Structure 1
Amino acid sequence: MRLYVDGWDPGYGTSFDNSGDGPASASSAQVAPDVELPAPDWRPIGPRGDVPMPPTVLLVDGVRRIDAGMWVADDDGVPHRGLAASYAAGVVRCDLERGVAGVAGAQVRRGLFTSSPTATDVRVGTVTYTAHQMGRDDQATLTGGVQAQLAALEAAVSGESRSDDDLLVVDGPLRGRQHLPRAVGYIKTHRVEYLPAELAGVVTRLEAGERTPVFRLGTTWDRYAWYLRLPTASRAPWAGVVRVECSAELAGDEAVALAYRSAATLPRFASSAYKDPRAPQNLVPIAGLERRLRSMLGDARLLYRTLILAARTVIG
């Protein structure tokens, strides 16, 4: 028997998530493995010396916070559950030629998510929670509404500070941003097993900086994808492994070129375990951006008191 310790802080779950559909369960996704290599020839692919890092890398991420659970009463007295949430998205611009990085753009939004058909924006002083009507008031629907608005905000900031030869790295799936040039989605956790067993074995054999061949993945939307292992001291089978994806609208050779470029670039940004409990997958610029965005959300206790005041005015 062999034991492995996952490098992630247990407070964040694990890098290989077994909630819901566990990692051992087969995905219903359609997988076409022959984009770069025929399935029988699959093997770990190392970086190519003739593929340089881009001069500029842009990394996009977002954060959200539930400020308060709410009840919204209509004129007929029927109460509807709701959530008041703050969320923010931003982009870090890394100039690799100059060795400098900074936040190139960030936006903050606040929303009231409820099934009430008569809900209106909540304004107290300079704070505004924009009303978003949801079809139901269960927790999953309400939090899904928050996530959808955050994804839209991330898409809005993704186009900022672009240059002609950059690489755009979106923290999370690329869905909704497939149209952006030179963009890849960066997925840190693995909830289901997309590859059949004979190909998944290639993932666990990856060394730091190596990737799998590119494959085409189809669920509710299509994209190209590949797995990449970042530098890590752990020898656990999936330690340091991320999934990277790009638009299915690209030609196969264009997707392969992006895969090589991602393998040349992303390991540079891998975090260290003594600095980040989600190392190495939580990239250093992303971690810094998350801290900046959370500070921009404002003081949670002050906003909670603000919402109590608003409830007395609007509902009470």
Structure 2
Amino acid sequence: MSEENYVSKFWRSHNFRLEPWGNDYEPPIQISEELSLTESDVNPTVETDNWDCFQSSQARSLPNRLIFIDGRRRLDAALVGGNGNTIIYSVFGTIAVGAVVVDRTIPKASYLEPEIDIHRVVGFGGEQETVSTHIPCPLGSKAKLLYKAITRKFDNTPEVRRVIVQTAMLEAEEQLVSKLDVKDADTLVIRDGSLRYESPVFTLGYIKTMHRQYLPEKYAALLCKLLPGQRTPIFEIKNTSQYSWYLKSGDSQHSPQKLGYHDLYGIVRLELSKKNGIDRATEIANQTCYLIPYYASHPSRDPRAPQNLAPVSALERELGRRMGDAILIKRRLQSFLASFGGNE
């Protein structure tokens, strides 16, 4: 066999596909074998035991009001210090959380004001005391750089910097969700990310990155067969308070086969509190078969399409704008640290 034929055979026989999100983002598929769940961890038959030819019903109605919630985080400056032989890791970080409200009756989308909030935090690993810190700005500047102390304890590792800022962002998102007064089925809240705490009814967790395999192999096979707008049956992850299901987002014009991507391209996972009950959860799951593909981003405008939702993409840009210029802020932090004879 010639080398050319060998190479061709190799690529035909191996299921390697393009990574659509590019190198600037974490890949949407990050499944590790040790994170896979087993049948004892999941109840896949909470809605139906028919996974071979499951077809979800069309939603009887759609909510007229959607609220998309997301947050952004940024490490403004990663620090390392300590006394003697002790190394302590620290971080100055900025987080921003906000919401986009979509009125489907008009239709119109707007930012939920004044709920877009910017927080700056400073935290340390280990037992190091943390203090809120005001960073001076040039005379005449209206900017205020107050980094509030994160007082909870974290492991003292290089990764703690990301953990500190991520934790602060998730807590800010939880506070925003708790402020929303959503008591009727005409409003659906879609939160970018997993529902880590007991969540209000009518709040969806929207997970666009696959970190673990939640379904045993015989059920997971359905994921590669889904077409845009189709979902799996609802399943229950035991020892949690959420139902969950997978859904294929995007449209038929941008199928994985046409783009050279893996069959899991466009797959997202959704979570919903069990407090809704299985009948209501089924109706909401059916609604997502229309809503998620409808608000999916387009590959020409978002490198994380279609998993990243268009309203969330717009919110991310606005949050980034309000977080301030990263280069200027880092210079302020550098000047502040240099004033004490330290190094960045």
State the TM-score, normalizing by the size of structure 2: 0.82
Residue 15 in 1 paired to residue 28 in 2? yes
Q: Which runs of 5+ in 1 are unaligned?
A: none
Q: Which runs of 5+ in 2 are unaligned?
A: 1-11, 137-143
> Partner residue of 1:182?
202
Question: What is the Cα deviation at residue 231 of structure 1?
Answer: 2.1
Question: What is the Cα deviation at residue 225 of structure 1?
Answer: 0.4
State the secondary structure of the residue aligned to 1:184: strand
State the secondary structure of the residue aligned to 2:70: strand
Q: 1:71 to 1:25 in 2, by over 3 A?
A: closer
- Give aligned-pair identity as a percent: 26
| C-alpha distance in structure 2 between counterparts of 1:257 and 1:314, whole Å | 60
Equivalenced residues, count: 308
Q: 1:162 to 1:261 in 2, by over 3 A?
A: farther
Question: What is the Cα deviation at residue 33 of structure 1?
Answer: 0.9
Pairwise mapping of residues 7-86 of structure 1 onto structure 2 (< 5 A)? 7-18=20-31, 21-22=32-33, 26-27=36-37, 30-38=41-49, 40-48=50-58, 50-71=59-80, 73=82, 80-86=88-94
State the TM-score, normalizing by the size of structure 1: 0.88
Question: What is the Cα deviation at residue 309 of structure 1?
Answer: 3.0
> Partner residue of 1:130?
148
Pairwise mapping of residues 195-210 of structure 1 onto structure 2 (< 5 A)? 195-210=215-230
| C-alpha distance in structure 1 between counterparts of 2:57 and 2:300, whole Å | 27
| C-alpha distance in structure 2 between counterparts of 1:8 and 1:66, whole Å | 22
Letter in 2 for 1:210: Q
Question: What is the Cα deviation at residue 72 of structure 1?
Answer: 5.4
Q: Could you report, residue by residue, the CA deviation over 1:261-307 in whole angstroms, capped at 9, with x for unpaired residues?
A: 22231111011111111110000000000011111111112211221
> Partner residue of 2:279?
253
Q: 1:32 to 1:311 in 2, by over 3 A?
A: same
User: Computing the radius of gyration over CA atoms, which structure comes out larger, 1 or 2?
Assistant: 2
Q: 1:222 to 1:314 in 2, by over 3 A?
A: farther
| C-alpha distance in structure 2 between counterparts of 1:314 and 1:288, whole Å | 40
Residue 225 in 1 paired to residue 225 in 2? no
Residue 99 in 1 paired to residue 107 in 2? yes
8 A Cα contact 2:90 2:160, kept in partner: no
| C-alpha distance in structure 2 between counterparts of 1:69 and 1:41, whole Å | 48
> Partner residue of 2:189?
168
Q: Could you report, residue by residue, the CA deviation over 1:84-141 in whole angstroms, capped at 9, with x for unpaired residues?
A: 1101111110111111101103111111110353331110242111122433321223
278-287 or 65-74, which deviates more: 65-74
| C-alpha distance in structure 2 between counterparts of 1:72 and 1:10, whole Å | 31
Residue 215 in 1 paired to residue 225 in 2? no
8 A Cα contact 1:47 1:210, kept in partner: no
State the secondary structure of the residue aligned to 1:249: helix
> Partner residue of 1:306?
332
Letter in 2 for 1:174: L
> Partner residue of 1:273?
299
